[in-house]
Amino acid sequence: MQVRKGCITLRISQQTLNEIKFRNSIEDVVSGYVQLKRSASNLVGLCPFHSEKTPSFTVFPADGSFYCFGCGAGGDVIAFVRRAESLDYPSAVEFLARRAGISIVTDESDKEMYARRSSVLKMNLEAARFFNSCLFDPKYGKEAMEYLCVKRGLSTSLIKHFGLGFAPDNYGMLTRHMSSLGYKDYELSSAFLCGISKKNGAPYDYFRNRIIFPIIDPSGQVVAFGGRVMDDSLPKYLNTSDTPAFRKSRTLFALNYAKDSCAEQMILCEGYMDVIALHGAGFSNAVATLGTAITKEHARLMKRYTKSVVICYDSDDAGQKAADKAFGVLGEVGLEARILKVTSAKDPDEYIKKFGRDGFSRLLKNTESEFQFRLGKILSKYDIANTDQRLKALDEAIGVIAGVQSAAAREIYSRIVSEKFSVSAENIAKDAEKRFAMSERQKNAIEKERLLLSATGISDRVNADYVKNPRAASSEEKIIGILLLHPEYIEQMEKKGIAFSSDDFFTSFSKKIVALMLSFEGRPFDISSLGTELSVEETDRLTKLKMDREKLTDNSLQLLTEIYGKMVEDVRRSEMTADEIIKKKREKRKSDRHR
């Protein structure tokens, strides 16, 4: 009997994918992000994708995969890079290909995807050259050069080092230049180099009368731009929005330089000028987010290159609030973080102008821990000479201590708070331990509820249909798990006369995966070659299903056909109307009476 085949085509040639994975062994790639230790034939370490104290992240060199038993992240080396670098599938493959010096060979269906990214990068490079030439041309860039050199104190060599430029106060100068190179208006618009007027459909330059900061990725490609005004007009900064070559939440300014000098420590700033000033003073390990609050993607990217981060934000209220958030985000990915208190200046750029390199070096030696930072905020918030405010401040300080995982650290912090408030360290420690224990109980209760919901499929985001028919969905996942181990069973079922079809499955997730499996038409099923079709969460689920079956002794063809038969029956039963169910029950009773 004929088996229905899917219509999904491979995006990247299988030969190229195999070569990329072979030349990028998973243990070699992962060890660049995670400190791994040998455990029998596998490797274990602290998961880079969630905060943990006990290693639950495992690398399996035998089959080139990884899995975290804590958060459920899993897959092959491509899936790992997708998560670690916050990349989409094509970019992750390209990342690994560059790492191994491999040229990517794609199928016809994938050329458009890579062409869009390549086109944006080429346009950005030409635009960067244009902006730079305008800055150094007195006809257009005289005022901008005076702003940078006189007002901001940058040297010409530093300006050239960062490739800074200037966008003239002209509505179409860049657009005309790019058009002369053969680029169309819609292409420039997709790269946010020009906008299209809603009134008359005419193009206009996106950046005008602004200092231009090219944003360069770690591989040296111009992926975007930031533009700053030279006066008090708003918006102060204008940044490229997301494009096929750029994601703001996953990019750090000056990382292309900082990556070579930040192994021990990275300095995280708020703005372009702070970073440039620090680099100019010799602190080449400085980076900045791009006009947005720090994200987990930023933190994971930093963790790849450094062991610790010094938060160096502005001293105003907005900067301190941003620092408060940065501590939390950096801590979640397991990065040690401290904060630099910039006094007698509003930001690092101004501080270096006043006190020079040596002054800033002294500041770096006196950074504060997260606890010191939070305690300082509490002490500045309340007047502890007032009894009521003293009690409120003490209550908040104990709350901070209770949020620390290390018992030894809680003991030390209790002594510090004791000295500040003249209250016994023992009583403070007792209160903190009570709150810590309560917090842990709440966390455990939430985790138990999450596991219960996961078991019933209620909170399942990957397989949302699970809860509608848990029995059939459970069978479907068993079937997929077995087929991930033995894809040859599909052809063997066909030879047995079993019509294996994605239409027989109940959940949309299972239908999708089975259709993808069938699309291989006899070739070995490889999840990696379907990266454009699968989200990282779906890849995680498939990895889990495969591992669940590997733990069991029976993954035979006979078991598969039995589960498949029951699953088909469960699905058909769920699709029956009430009248059909009653009719079937009557027929069964009638048949039983005649036996």
CATH number of the domain enclosing 242? 3.90.980.10
Q: What are 38's two structure tokens?
A: 């040998």
246: left (phi over 0), alpha (psi -120 to 50) or beta: beta
The model carries a pTM of: 0.69
Classify residue 27 by burial, with Cβ atoms within 10 Å: 0-12, 13-18, 19+: middle
In a domain, 9, yes or no: no
Do 242 and 272 share a domain, yes or no? no
* Residues whose CB falls within 8 Å of the CB of residue 591, separated by 6 or more in sequence, listed in order: none
Do 391 and 362 share a domain, yes or no? no
Determine the pLDDT at residue 382. 94
Do 476 and 427 share a domain, yes or no? no
194-196 and 203-205 beta bridge pairing: antiparallel
Do 500 and 517 share a domain, yes or no? yes
> Predicted confidence band at 233 (pLDDT cuts at 50, 70, 90)?
confident
Determine the pLDDT at residue 425. 94
Give the tens place of pLDDT for each residue, 419-470: 999 999 999 999 999 999 998 888 777 667 665 655 555 556 788 888 888 8
* Opening angle at CA 431, ends 428 and 436, nearest 5: 120
Do 117 and 240 share a domain, yes or no? yes
Do 469 and 447 share a domain, yes or no? no
Domain membership of residue 574 as a residue range: 464-593
Which residues lie across from 369 on neighbouring strands?
338
Write down the H helix ranges in 457-555: 470-485, 489-495, 508-519, 536-550
CA 394 – CA 389 distance, rounded (Å): 9
Mean pLDDT computed over 134-161 = 96
Supply the angle between the helices 89-100 and 111-135 in degrees, to the nearest 10: 70
CB 531 within 8 A of CB 75: no
User: Which of the listed residues 407, 433, 455 is the one where a domain comes to its end?
Assistant: 455
Do 209 and 310 share a domain, yes or no? no
Do 153 and 219 share a domain, yes or no? yes
Chain mean pLDDT for the chain: 86
pLDDT over 90 at 414, yes or no: yes
266-269 and 308-312 beta bridge pairing: parallel
Give the tens place of pLDDT for each residue, 245-301: 898 888 999 999 999 999 899 999 988 999 999 999 999 999 999 877 898 889 888
- Closest CA relative to residue 340, chosen from 263, 278, 406: 278
Determine the pLDDT at residue 150. 95
In a domain, 216, yes or no: yes
Determine the pLDDT at residue 113. 66
Percentage of residues in the chain with pLDDT exceeding 70? 88
More confident residue, 361 or 318: 361
In a domain, 265, yes or no: yes
The structural domain count of the chain equals: 5
pLDDT over 80 at 581, yes or no: no
Q: What are 93's two structure tokens?
A: 């493959």
> Predicted confidence band at 3 (pLDDT cuts at 50, 70, 90)?
very low
CA 255 – CA 86 distance, rounded (Å): 15
User: Which of the listed residues 366, 387, 416 is the one where a domain comes to its end?
Assistant: 366
In a domain, 304, yes or no: yes
Write down the H helix ranges in 211-364: 255-258, 272-280, 296-305, 317-332, 348-364
CA 348 – CA 275 distance, rounded (Å): 8
In a domain, 525, yes or no: yes
Determine the pLDDT at residue 457. 52
- Closest CA relative to residue 175, chosen from 241, 126, 235: 126
Do 215 and 273 share a domain, yes or no? no
Give the tens place of pLDDT for each residue, 346-394: 888 899 999 999 999 999 998 999 999 999 999 999 999 999 999 999 9
Determine the pLDDT at residue 23. 87
Determine the pLDDT at residue 103. 72
Determine the pLDDT at residue 7. 36
Report residue 8: phi and psi, to 5°: -85, 135
Do 354 and 445 share a domain, yes or no? no
Do 234 and 264 share a domain, yes or no? no
More confident residue, 97 or 51: 97
Distance (Å) of CA 64 to CA 75, 495, 547: 9, 32, 13
Write down the H helix ranges in 496-535: 508-519
Mean pLDDT computed over 24-40 = 89
In a domain, 107, yes or no: no
Please state the length of the chain: 595
Per the listing, tokens 């390990």 go with: 285
In a domain, 147, yes or no: yes
CATH number of the domain enclosing 32? 3.90.580.10
CB 252 within 8 A of CB 272: no
CATH number of the domain enclosing 302? 3.40.1360.10
Mean pLDDT computed over 173-186 = 96
In a domain, 421, yes or no: yes
User: Which of the listed residues 246, 267, 296 is the one where a domain comes to its end?
Assistant: 246
Do 82 and 181 share a domain, yes or no? no
CA 480 – CA 182 distance, rounded (Å): 49
Secondary-structure percent of the chain, ordered helix, strand, coil, rounded to 5: 55, 10, 35
Say whether 461 sits in a helix, a strand or coil: coil
